[in-house]
Amino acid sequence: MSERPLAGSARPRLPRGVRLQHSAAHGGDVLLGPERVFKADAIAAAVLKRCTGAMTLDEMVDDLARTYAADPARVRADVVALLSGLAEKRMLEW
Amino acid sequence: MVTANEGRPWPPLASPRTRGAVDAGRASGGEPSRAFREPSETSQPSAGREGIPPPLGLLAELTHRCPLGCPYCSNPLALEARAGELEAQVWARVFEEAARLGVLQVHLSGGEPAARRDLEDIARAARAAGLYVNLITSGIGLPPARLKALAEAGIDHVQISIQDSEPQSADRIAGYPGAFARKNALATEVVQLGLPLTVNMVVHRANIDRIGAMIELAAALQAARVEVAHVQYYGWALANRAALMPSREQVDRALAAVERLRRAYRGRMVIDAVVPDYYAHFPKPCLGGWGRRSLNVTPSGRVLPCHAAEVIPGLEFWSVRDYALADIWARSPAFQAFRGTDWMQEPCRNCPRREQDYGGCRCQAFLLTGEAAATDPVCHLSPNHGLLKALAEEPAQPYRYRRLAADKTAGAR
């Protein structure tokens, strides 16, 4: 449930009724949920594509920091902010 | 687009000023989330045919038939008969065209969509077109087996209307004995199937003092989201305005209660509220502006910029039976009539909020002033703003239940 803080061992996933898909007409990826549409920029999409319930947050951060040659601490802060915000809107769970 | 960032350093989440590839070109203020934004109109790509941004949502009114008689219904008084309803295969074509045009979500609504025996086929076609499928239902006519079939057909989300937290009052408002019990049962069945549930509660004089209990009921039903919608006065609701309008004090108490509960349920249940606009200071930017974000297809296939648009005389609506949806969106006279800001008069024309609220609702402007291009009287700058206070204080009347007058004739084929 989203009320729990997002721990490193948590496995974030998109709940049923929330989908990430590509939209040619809108020129990018969109995250769709109940009465909600978000456009994902490339980084957000890269984060969300890793939210399958298979990876832990720690694994996601390592993977993203490697892929983008970025500071893991900064990646973690950004990912946690992004995912927590979505969880508050019931668009993500772990 | 999406590939551009792979391999680049990690800035996009770091600064609110940084914009991803999808936002190219449009300026908008500070957004709530760094990597995401609500695709409010300002974030749409300006591409699209003839410079018109693509729509995001399509409201599919599959039928006007409905077993309930809710006096706040926003359907038109002249309900369309079954004989003229679009066939499922026409809906399938409309969904494919909608997806190509840019529509992301379809709302299967009515009337009661379950009144159509081919609802499962229609839902399957919508999902096959790649759309996010919302089912908006009264809950009547959806036994468990049928709900399961719809889940298998690919619906993504179910929205159920509940009229009150008190069973007797709820059934009286719906004009249908047993409605409350059936709706509660369906809500449970939706959650058991693992589908996200929204409970929609329309608020008016008869139930507004129980708004807290209504939200608690939605939470008890494990809704992921509750929509608290103060009545908007169109169609049957306008005919029943004197019976439905709450007092200013009731509205103020209700707004405070909603805010309290929004904090209490943060992270557990999303509470979206449609504010009561007769008591507002600024008008609502109806559907984000005329012909900017969504379209509405009536049971017979007429395409409207909003569900109430047929009240405005002289507008020419095109039908999906005659035109492709992309042509209707880009070129039909009704969509062009109030698109953008060129049609505006003062005080809208030079108002700094003109691209924020688009002069408010065109239908309401017409219904209250007789002129569709007037400023929505909800706006405190409207010369007609005083009208609203008088209207809000009309003496109460009994309900005029929504009924399909043509049922006996057209429905009997």
ipTM for the complex shown: 0.92
Query: Cα dist. B394→B237, B247, B252 in Å?
Result: 14, 10, 19
Nearest-neighbour CA in chain B from A62: distance (Å): 13
- The chain B residue lying nearest A23, using CA atoms, is B102
Q: Which residues contact B211 (CB under 8 A, 6 or more apart)?
A: B201, B203, B228, B254, B257, B258
Helix or strand (DSSP H, E) at B233: none
Q: What is the structure's pLDDT at B270?
A: 93
Q: Which residues of B touch A13 (CB under 8 A)?
A: none
- Between CA B75 and CA B363 the distance in angstroms is 13
Residues of B whose CB is below 8 A from A37: 38-39, 56-57, 104-105
Q: Is B141 left (phi over 0), alpha (psi -120 to 50) or beta?
A: left
Q: Do B54 and A32 touch (CB under 8 A)?
A: no
DSSP letter string, B21-89:
GGGTT------SSSSEE---GGGS-S-SGGGPPPP-EEEEE--S--S---TT--S-SSPPPGGGPPPHH
| Preceding amide of A17 cis, omega within 30 | no
> What are the respective helix, strand and coil percentages of chain A, to the nearest 5?
40, 20, 40
pLDDT along chain B (413 residues), means of 10: 36 32 26 34 44 92 94 88 96 98 96 96 98 96 96 97 96 96 97 96 94 97 94 89 89 93 93 84 86 95 94 96 97 95 92 91 91 92 87 80 60 32
- In chain B, which among 335-374 make CB contacts under 8 A with chain A? none
Q: Which of A87, A74, A70 is nearest to A11 (CA)?
A: A87
How many Cβ pairs within 8 Å bridge chains A and B? Answer: 169
Number of alpha carbons in the 13 Å side-chain half-sphere of residue B38: 13
Residues of B with CB below 8 A from A4's CB? none
pLDDT of B334 reads: 96
pLDDT at residue B48 in the model = 52
Closest CB from B9, B37, B266 relative to A39: B37
DSSP strand pairing (B157-161 vs B294-297): unpaired
pLDDT at B278 (0 to 100): 81
Chain B closest-CA separation from residue A11 CA (Å): 17
Looking at the DSSP bridge assignments, the partners of residue B124 are none
Interface of B with A in 66-125 (CB under 8 A): 100-102, 104-105
| Phi, psi of B213, deg, nearest 5 | -65, -35
Q: Give pLDDT, residue B34.
A: 35
Residue B405: what pLDDT?
66
User: How far is B191 from chain A, CA to nearest CA, in Å?
Assistant: 11
Q: Which residues of B touch A43 (CB under 8 A)?
A: 5, 10, 12-13, 20, 35
Cross-chain CB nearest to B22 (options A15, A28, A87): A28
> Would you call B5 and A74 a contact, using CB atoms and an 8 Å cutoff?
no
Model confidence at A76, in pLDDT bands (50, 70, 90)? very high
Are B152 and B182 contacting, i.e. CB atoms less than 8 angstroms apart?
no
CA atoms within 13 A on the CB side of B140: 20
**In terms of C-beta density within 10 A (0-12 exposed, 13-18 middle, 19 or more buried), how is residue A55 classed?**
middle
Do B12 and A42 lie within an 8 Å CB cutoff? Answer: yes
Pick the closest to residue B202 from B268, B247, B279, B254 (CA basis).
B254
What is the number of alpha carbons within 13 Å of residue A21 lying toward its C-beta? Answer: 19
The backbone torsions φ and ψ at residue A40, rounded to the nearest 5 degrees and listed phi first, read -105, 130
Tokens describing residue B259:
């805010």
What's the confidence (pLDDT) of residue B397? 79
The residue written with tokens 């507002």 in the block is B280
Q: Which of A13-17, A58-62, A80-84, B3-7 is least confident?
A: B3-7
